[in-house]
Amino acid sequence: MKMINFDPVQTWIGNVAYSHSQSKGTEDYYRFALKNFCSFIDATPEQILEDYEISEEKAFKRKYAKLLKAFIIEQTNNGYAVGSITTIVAAIRSFFKYNDLPLGYVPTAKNRVTYHNRDVRHEEIKKILAASTPRDRAFYSLMAQSGLRPHTITQLKMKHLEPDFSEGAIPCMIRIPEEISKGGFGAYFTFTGSETIRYLTAYLSTRPNIDPEDYVFVNRSGRQLSRRSITNIFARTIDGMKEKGTLNFEQKKLGKPRTLRLYNLRKFFRNCAAQAGVEYVNFWMGHKTNYKASYIPASDVHYFSREDVEFQRKLYSEKALPHLRLETATPTETEAVIKQLQMELNKMEKRYETMQQQHELLQNKFEGLSRIRSQSDVVAEAIMQDPRFQKLIHEKLSEGAIEVREDFVKDGKTKVKIHKLTKEDFKK
């Protein structure tokens, strides 16, 4: 029987693509993980296979389980996050599994997030867009309003935006064929808003003679833009903004993930589009979903990606897009303004009510004083006409002037003034 030479790594990757995922990102990461492990144990994939052929199975299992556990400690000491190490170990396990290599016990880490992606606000996204080039602005806006992965966006071609893009349809549907979707999700679609389409139009106007098979986003050489490149550009942009004091975020350690990074735009979509329903949002983001319409048999769940585009377009337009707007106020922002105005109006109404009460109180006091004055004038007139009072006045005047005390308030202080009345004053 003729022996067939084969590349164990390529055969492994090919079978993973056949059974699970044809994602280029998965392939690259699996190769990266196996390369690091082989470098750590100072052996090639071919040598691992040869070692199995000349070793006892029990000894082989223990040997490579120990090596893999030592590799995990090495990665931990190098500062890798638990999630990253788990993914690397999964890739190495996959190589052993697909090559029928036994592996002893290797612990599975408890799932926890080491580097959290914080929420990114509308205002922050608008600042980032303003600080970006036309191409990058269109890329970031598309990611925020569609929920697509950076790797998926870099693989988009003009034909995936049609016919909506040429027809000016808003929301614009974006078709994601199975060959560029992640994992075994299959083909699906999502939408984006008018702001993204405007940014895209501005960017594409700088690229003449674009064909349906051309990539939507390209580098300076006109070749497909890479995920790593746009990720680094985003990092440089926000670092520059932080230095200028226009953006704030944390980075625990140099070379480690920031709390604000490109994937935050995808999280922004997940949070803001939530009112459309979690199953639809997961579908638009390319996540596996158990959703199926009530009228679709269980055996036909896989047809969901082709079901009722116009219904989902309307759902996106009414429930998701209003909260994904970047330039105009979102319902939440509008509600905040209305709430603030309502609070100010309530304060003014309370002040007006207090002033009205004070006015009524002063009015009552004034009316009371007016009544007292009128009554005092009547009493004074009666006294002046009384003969006994007139006789008393004449007696006092014969002795000299009569002193009359007047109390009054001036400049907030009570003052006293003495008036001297003579016979001439009474004659007047």
Residue ranges per structural domain of the chain: 8-98, 122-328, 331-385, 388-428
Share of the chain above pLDDT 70, in %: 82
**Spatial separation of the C-alpha atoms in residues 408 and 412, rounded to whole Å:** 10
Q: Assign residue 55 a region: left if phi > 0, alpha if psi is -120 to 50, beta otherwise?
A: beta
* pLDDT higher than threshold 70 for residue 185: no
* pLDDT higher than threshold 60 for residue 29: yes
Instruction: Quote the pLDDT of residue 338.
Output: 66
Q: Which two tokens stand for residue 15?
A: 């079978």
**Spatial separation of the C-alpha atoms in residues 402 and 421, rounded to whole Å:** 5
* pLDDT higher than threshold 70 for residue 184: no
Instruction: Quote the pLDDT of residue 111.
Output: 66
Q: pLDDT per residue over 120-151, tens digit each?
A: 999 999 999 999 999 999 999 999 999 999 99
Q: pLDDT per residue over 387-426, tens digit each?
A: 777 777 777 667 666 676 777 667 777 777 777 766 666 6
Instruction: Quote the pLDDT of residue 192.
Output: 97
Q: Which range among 39-43, 66-70, 190-194, 355-359 shows the weakest confidence by mean pLDDT?
A: 355-359
Question: In the predicted model, what is the mean pLDDT of residues 50-67?
Answer: 94
* pLDDT higher than threshold 90 for residue 58: yes
pLDDT: which is higher, 362 or 60: 60
Instruction: Quote the pLDDT of residue 116.
Output: 64
pLDDT: which is higher, 261 or 426: 261
Instruction: Quote the pLDDT of residue 231.
Output: 94
**Spatial separation of the C-alpha atoms in residues 79 and 253, rounded to whole Å:** 10
Q: Which residues pair with 408 in a beta bridge?
A: 415
Q: Which residues pair with 405 in a beta bridge?
A: 418
* pLDDT higher than threshold 60 for residue 2: no
Which of 15-19, 38-42, 407-411 ranks highest by mean pLDDT? 38-42
Residue 294 — very low, low, confident or very high, per pLDDT cuts 50/70/90? very low
* pLDDT higher than threshold 70 for residue 322: yes
Instruction: Quote the pLDDT of residue 304.
Output: 46
- Kindly tell me the burial class for residue 102, based on how many C-beta atoms sit within 10 Å of its own C-beta (0-12, 13-18, 19 or more): middle
Handedness of CA 181, 185, 187, 189 (dihedral sign): negative
Instruction: Quote the pLDDT of residue 313.
Output: 94
Instruction: Quote the pLDDT of residue 292.
Output: 46
Phi, psi for residue 317 in degrees, rounded to 5? -65, -40
The helix or strand, by DSSP H or E, that contains position 420, with its residue range, turns out to be strand 413-421
Contact 287, 279 (CB under 8 A): no
Inter-helix orientation angle 24-41/57-77, to 10°:
100
Q: pLDDT per residue over 339-381, tens digit each?
A: 677 777 778 888 888 888 888 888 887 777 777 777 777 777 7
State how far the alpha carbon of 216 is from the alpha carbons of 212, 270, 281, in Å. 9, 23, 23
Contact 153, 216 (CB under 8 A): yes
Contact 323, 145 (CB under 8 A): no
**Spatial separation of the C-alpha atoms in residues 424 and 210, rounded to whole Å:** 112
**Spatial separation of the C-alpha atoms in residues 5 and 323, rounded to whole Å:** 57
- Architecture of the domain delimited by 122-328: Orthogonal Bundle (1.10)
Identify the CA nearest to 33 among candidates 51, 16, 50.
Answer: 16
Q: Assign residue 277 a region: left if phi > 0, alpha if psi is -120 to 50, beta otherwise?
A: left
Across the chain, mean pLDDT equals 84
* pLDDT higher than threshold 80 for residue 281: yes
Question: In the predicted model, what is the mean pLDDT of residues 259-288?
Answer: 90
pLDDT: which is higher, 256 or 12: 12
